[in-house]
A and B are shown apart, each in its own frame.
Chain A
Amino acid sequence: MKYVHREMGESAEASNPGPAGMRREIAFLLGAAAVLFLAGYFAIGWTVELILPRISVERERAWFSGFSLAERVGQPNGAEETARFTRAQETLTRLAAQPGVPALDYKLVFVAEERPNAFAFPGGTIGITRGMLQLLDDETSMAFVLGHELGHFAQRDHLRGIGRALGRAIAWTILFGDTSDALTKNAGTLLDLAHSRHQENGADIFGLTLVHGAFGKTAGTDRLFVWLEQRQRQPAWAQWVQTHPDPGNRVQRLREHAKQLGAAK
């Protein structure tokens, strides 16, 4: 038996897909992942929209009656802040009595944070920060902020957010188990932002209509956004990764809607 060495040539590299093969592989996998991702995103969205109308306000109240914000909550400091907080509470009660506001147990909670901010929590809890109380010292502008949060409840954005997060978590766990990468874990959040911007605009309009209905005026409702706009100028691309619309655009939208409300009067 004699050993004859033969050159294997290209067959020696049969297992190596080569640059062209790898490019095809990468293109296929990224394409398929994108399709899967979008399909999952819309499937979750549609499922949530399908379920939302079937959850009654009473059931929502029952679910979130035990909700509390223990760790973030502070107490208003000093007489001035307490007075403002009490005024805001009264405004909220007045707004909540307006038609179109879902019958939840609304509760205003003070959040000891310097950044002007307000939050809508499940079950009707609205958090308002110290910074917001300091910034908005008149009734109308505060009423608008509270009306905006009530708008989130009317649109059921908080339930929507919970539903989407739940759907994402389930889908991610099914697909990747618990060992998913940082990238896949957070990818869904970015897509949710556009949805959220739409919600914010809706809440703005709701808030404005509510203030108009309760106080009969809309002047001064845009104070927060004017302040925000003056405070920050940002490039257009930045809008893509934000949950909230550009303050300037919001002011413009509000003014247009206020005009319509005025005309309807």
Chain B
Amino acid sequence: MDDPNTLETYDWIAVALVYGLPILGLIFFGFIGAYVERRHYAALRIREAATARLPIMTARTLETGRLVADARLVATEVMISHDYFKRFLAQLRNLFGGRIRSYDTLLDRARREALLRLKEQCPDASIIANLRLETLCVTTSRRNSIVGVELIAYGTAIRYA
């Protein structure tokens, strides 16, 4: 028999909680995450167009022959979290291997956001040289469960006289 009463009301609630909640969470947070990402991308494109005139380069030295009025360090850091659904997809990727597409956008957004923040720190600069990008791990967590993408960017903002 084990349970001849089949499922009683509270069993139904348990079934709904155990199976329904995670699926509901995937859908709910997945859609919220997708919405947040779309908005971020839209904002990135507008801000990139607005700051397109300020070049960034990775070269350490540049010989232009022009007088430098001002050179200073600009640095920024960006952290972008995945949503519940992205993490679910990444966990499956962990099994099968391959490109974790759900996380590609996280790094892409972090990198572009960081460059924009650098540019926005020195709107009067002529160029940002010696750009360096590094990923870091500020938010450590349990094994297998990362919290998001963390990126630090720094460079030298140069203003010509």
Contacts and interface: CB of A to CB of B under 8 A. Distances in A.
A165 to B, nearest CB: 14
B7 A118 contact: no
B141 to A, nearest CB: 10
Interface size class of B (residues with CB under 8 A): 35 or more
A12 B52 CA distance: 13
Given A181-B88, A181-B91, A243 B53 contact: no
Main secondary structure of the interface of B (DSSP, over half): helix
A117 B4 CA distance: 6
A152 to B, nearest CB: 8
Chain A interface bracket (under 10, 10 to 19, 20 to 34, 35 or more): 35 or more
Interface string B3-15: 1111100000001
A177 to B, nearest CB: 6
B59 to A, nearest CB: 10
Given A16-B41, A16-B108, A119-B2, A22 B101 contact: yes
Interface string B127-161: 10000000000000011110000000000000000
B4 A17 contact: no
A183 B6 contact: no
Contact of A17 (B101, B127, B142, B145): B101
Interface centre among B4, B48, B104 (most CB of A within 10 A): B4
Interface of B: 1-7, 15, 18-19, 21-23, 26, 41, 48, 52-53, 55, 62, 64, 88-89, 91-93, 95-96, 101-102, 104-105, 107-108, 127, 142-145
B96 A29 contact: yes
Interface string A1-27: 101010000001101110001100110
A26 B5 contact: no
A145 interface: yes
Interface of A: 1, 3, 5, 12-13, 15-17, 21-22, 25-26, 29-30, 32-33, 36, 115-120, 132, 145, 148-149, 175-177, 179, 181-183, 186, 190, 224-225, 228, 232, 234, 238, 241-244, 246-247
A177 B144 contact: yes
B3 A32 contact: no
Nearest to A146: B1
29 contacts: A3-B55, A12-B48, A17-B101, A17-B104, A29-B89, A30-B92, A32-B92, A33-B95, A116-B5, A117-B3, A117-B4, A118-B2, A119-B2, A132-B1, A175-B95, A177-B143, A179-B142, A181-B22, A183-B22, A183-B26, A186-B19, A190-B19, A224-B4, A225-B4, A228-B4, A234-B6, A238-B7, A241-B7, A241-B15
